Amino acid sequence: MPTNEQRRATAKRKLERQLERRDQQAKRRRLMAIIGGILVIAAAVALVATFVLTDKDKSGSTVSSAGSAAPSASGGPTSAPPANGQLPPFTASADLGANCQYPASPEPASKQVAPPNSGKVPTDPATVSISMTTNQGNIGLILDNAKAPCTVNSFASLAQKGFFTDTPCHRLTTSPSLSVLQCGDPTGSGSGGPGYQFANEYPTDQYPKGDPGLQQPVTYPRGTLAMANAGPDTNGSQFFLVYKDSQLPPNYTAFGTIDATGLATLDKIAAGGVAGGGRDGKPTTDVQIKSVLLD
């Protein structure tokens, strides 16, 4: 028969095993709770923005530029536009186009080009017509100089200097909430740019700085021309063409519209889908910009 000491040792080992099992079960419960929380957060993020239109696909850096077309403390809005899911109505700030700045970006230029002239940029004429010729057809653009003069100044400068000539449109998205063709990177990698950056304009400048509405998606309607970026005030050369109504936070400068001929060209490209399947990637139909000319 076991002695009292042996029985006590056996009971002690049994208790230790029970405590170990309880500790392991508690750890598993905590781990499952953490995983569940991560999945909930990921789902919420996916609902807010299915996709980020970035011109730094292979570089996570985000650097804000000094000086911009963004509203000053005196000229900016004091209340947010109504949260109706649409792009906000435009109200010009007192300093719109008064001090357009194009500081060097952290990444070097993918194609050497001088930055545009900085300083005051006129908002007249209100629109500037552009003819963008591609191997898939012509895409006519009407740049909105009255709403985004610093952006239009940069885009027109790059066009005049041949920056977009013989460059690819490297990215097509075909999801229900985001339908765009992205262009403007000479490398076709998604990380190229002109070597400078500049600030967001409309619709970002219609919100007070830090307003939570900047995180809520709005509709960029079919026919919108907008800038891609890698965070606030990191615009460069990459832009996207919206061929179906798309949902994005109002952090992408909408600086023009696409004409009927251009939309027909985009529809044809989109019909080919994404190379290899899926809803985001290189378009199956090769798209090369041949020229971008001011009319």
| CATH number, domain with residue 231 | 2.40.100.10
Q: How many domains does the chain have?
A: 2
Structural domain that includes position 11: 1-48
How many angstroms separate the CA atoms of 287 and 248, rounded? Answer: 24
How many angstroms separate the CA atoms of 103 and 63, rounded? Answer: 11
Do 42 and 157 fall into the same domain? no
Residue 118 confidence (pLDDT): 97
Written as tens digits, the pLDDT of the chain (295 aa) is 556 555 555 655 655 565 566 566 655 655 555 445 444 444 434 443 444 566 554 333 332 332 233 323 334 677 788 888 999 999 999 999 999 999 999 999 999 999 999 999 999 999 999 999 999 999 999 999 999 999 999 999 999 999 999 999 999 999 999 999 999 999 999 999 999 999 999 999 999 989 999 999 999 999 999 999 999 999 999 999 999 999 999 999 999 999 999 999 999 999 999 999 999 999 999 999 999 999 8
- Where is 25: in which H helix or E strand? helix 4-48
Q: Say if residue 39 is exposed, middle or buried (CB neighbours under 10 Å; 0-12, 13-18, 19+).
A: exposed
Residue 41 confidence (pLDDT): 40
Do 160 and 33 fall into the same domain? no
How many angstroms separate the CA atoms of 149 and 135, rounded? Answer: 29
Do 3 and 71 fall into the same domain? no
Enumerate the β-bridge partners of residue 175.
178
Do 93 and 34 fall into the same domain? no
Do 99 and 203 fall into the same domain? yes
Name 195's Cβ contacts closer than 8 Å, sequence gap at least 6: 104, 105, 107, 108, 109, 110, 112, 113, 115
How many angstroms separate the CA atoms of 206 and 255, rounded? Answer: 14
Do 108 and 33 fall into the same domain? no
